[in-house]
Structure 1
Amino acid sequence: MRTYKAEGVFMKALSILLIPALFLGCTSPSPKEAPAAAVKAAPAEPYPDKAVCFLLIDAQTGQIQKSVNEENCQVQRPACSTFKVPLAVMGFDSGILKNESTKFKWNGKKHSIAEWNKDQTAASWMKNSTVWYSQMLTGKMGFQKLKTYLRKFDYGNQDISGGIKTAWLTPASFTPEEKGFSLRISGFEQTDFLKKLLYDKLPATKRSQELTKKIMFLEKTPKGYDFSGKTGSGYTDETLKRRIGWFVGTLTTADRQYVFATNYIDTVDVENAEYGSRFAKQLTIDLLKEENLW
């Protein structure tokens, strides 16, 4: 299986990736050397102020159909709420989640996201990306079982030292005494995991994988294709000015199945911006349109 592990410290890897890949020359031809019309301007950076990764892979052949910045797709970044996908498989496989209607009671603590302020089922947990439901699930599962599943699934760096209720989260998602930020995964690792899930090849029951795919379903595309996925949002810094955005999932046409992973981080400070996952999802749709898949 094709697996990529980040080398060195996370921020060191990011700093390397943010070195500009292209430098323009300091001289240009004189009018005698070339007509002015022949001098072409460098193409504009399509994603300014962001380090973007995008992978669209034919799940049947394993071939990359489209990619953006594959080097970024090898860097492990915090899983954020994309971790809900393997966590759902774990929950169903372990029996903690009986089906998509398994309900956890809201404890009455107010959250800024209104949809979280009520009881949740497994289906609404995935749809609303409800953090407290994930934390109840990992708490019921316990450290050792969670660690075992991550190893069996070969999921990212398998590091939950940041806490069983916070390891996949980033600043603003946990309290100062909690560590968080430890469970990381790359774009390539996301697509490897999704391929196994798509074909029920994870070391878990088929039913657990089928139920997970059921609650991941989002919509039919304008072309009538099945579109499933999970977003994830976070920050790379404690000032909450540099976002992480994820969107991962599957697309099934009449004769093809694809897995995709989109990720980006801000490379400059952004004030009062929307969640990073929204840009990641829209970017995915835009790139699928370029491939005539939307």
Structure 2
Amino acid sequence: MRLVLSGFFVSTLLAVAVPAAASDICTIVADAKSGAVFLREGRCAERVTPASTFKLPLSLMAFDAGILKDEHTPSFSYQKGDPAWGGEAWKQPTDAQRWLKYSVVWFSQRLTQRLGAETLHRYAQGFGYGNADFSGDAAKNNGLERAWISSSLKISPDEQVAFLNKFVNRTLPVSREAMEMTVKAMERFDLKDGWVAQGKTGMAYPRLADGSFDRAHPWGWFVGWAQKGGRTVVFAKLVQDERKLGGSASARARDALFEALPALLARN
């Protein structure tokens, strides 16, 4: 990729909207057509858990395999024992559109169980999606339940952007319909200056030495793309809280990116 970043705009982007108690691990913004990188700042080659950003490749897999038919079909119901830490929004009948909007973990688990570990690995390898490791926690046989949540599956911001670039250019090894249906199911955000973005948040906690979760230092992801006219950019932002802040680290990553992105693009 061709790098065309400006130090002034790098510092502007990194300074906006991220609390002082959160560290910006990496921010990348690149042109989807030319590959020109407008901004790449931080430890962007470092792999961490994808958390709920994994829902984007998982949606592509499930549509390509015929498990998902469209943004509303099928709809699955919450069952006793399903993860419910997302509150009442996770206890409602859920289709692909609600799954992506509310980040419903048990819906992901319905899909991964139907796909199976070998198919997930094959798709992820074809996508170039991180380490493509769906083994889960060591000796726990839980890869289909949580490989993507602070477990075996890991991806870097650089790899996220490479995957997204293939996605928006429709060059991933899945059907075009799978890519179009995933886009149709995704939430849209209207930004300043006429830009329209689509993307996915993701938040998860690092593991401590004893295997428990470090709940004071969550990672927060936001990955996706923005379009205006005939122009498309892809982006990935990864932050980590330095102390317990409450709320969502991924929402802070998203809001910081959205605040600064239009001004950055107006000058590139």
TM-score in terms of structure 1 length: 0.76
Q: Residue 67 of structure 2 corresponds to which residue in structure 1?
A: 96
1:101 and 1:131 map into 2 onto residues whose CA distance is 17
2:205 matched to 1:211? Answer: no
Instruction: Mark the CA change 1:111 to 1:255 in structure 2 (over 3 Å): closer, same or farther.
Output: same
Q: Residue 190 of structure 2 corresponds to which residue in structure 1?
A: 220
Cα displacement string for residues 79-138 of structure 1 (whole angstroms, at most 9, x for unaligned residues): 000000000000000001111112112114572322101110011101111000001110
1:104 and 1:65 map into 2 onto residues whose CA distance is 41
Contact 2:60 2:178 survives alignment (8 Å): yes
With CA pairs under 8 Å and 6+ residues apart, which has the higher RCO, 1 or 2? 2
Q: CA RMSD in A?
A: 2.0
2:179 matched to 1:199? Answer: no
2:161 and 2:188 map into 1 onto residues whose CA distance is 18
Amino acid at match of 2:170: D
2:122 and 2:229 map into 1 onto residues whose CA distance is 37
2:252 and 2:190 map into 1 onto residues whose CA distance is 20
1:246 offset after TM fit, Å?
A: 0.1
Of 56, 76, 87, 2:47 maps to 76
Cα displacement string for residues 168-187 of structure 1 (whole angstroms, at most 9, x for unaligned residues): 002xxxxxxxxxx1111111
Structure 1 unaligned residues grouped into runs of 5+: 3-44, 171-180
Share of identical aligned residues, percent? 34
2:236 matched to 1:261? Answer: yes
2:187 and 2:36 map into 1 onto residues whose CA distance is 24
Structure 2 unaligned residues grouped into runs of 5+: 3-13, 137-142, 208-212
2:128 and 2:166 map into 1 onto residues whose CA distance is 11
The structure richer in helix per residue is: 2
Q: Residue 136 of structure 1 corresponds to which residue in structure 2?
A: 110
1:234 offset after TM fit, Å?
A: 0.7
| Residues 23-172 of structure 1 mapped to structure 2, 5 A cutoff | 46=15, 48-49=20-21, 50-69=23-42, 72-102=43-73, 103-109=75-81, 111-112=84-85, 113-162=87-136, 163-170=143-150
Cα displacement string for residues 121-178 of structure 1 (whole angstroms, at most 9, x for unaligned residues): 01110111100000111011111111111111111111111112210002xxxxxxxx
Amino acid at match of 1:164: L
Larger Rg: 1
Q: Residue 21 of structure 1 corresponds to which residue in structure 2?
A: none
Give runs of ≥4 in structure 1 deviating > 6 Å: none
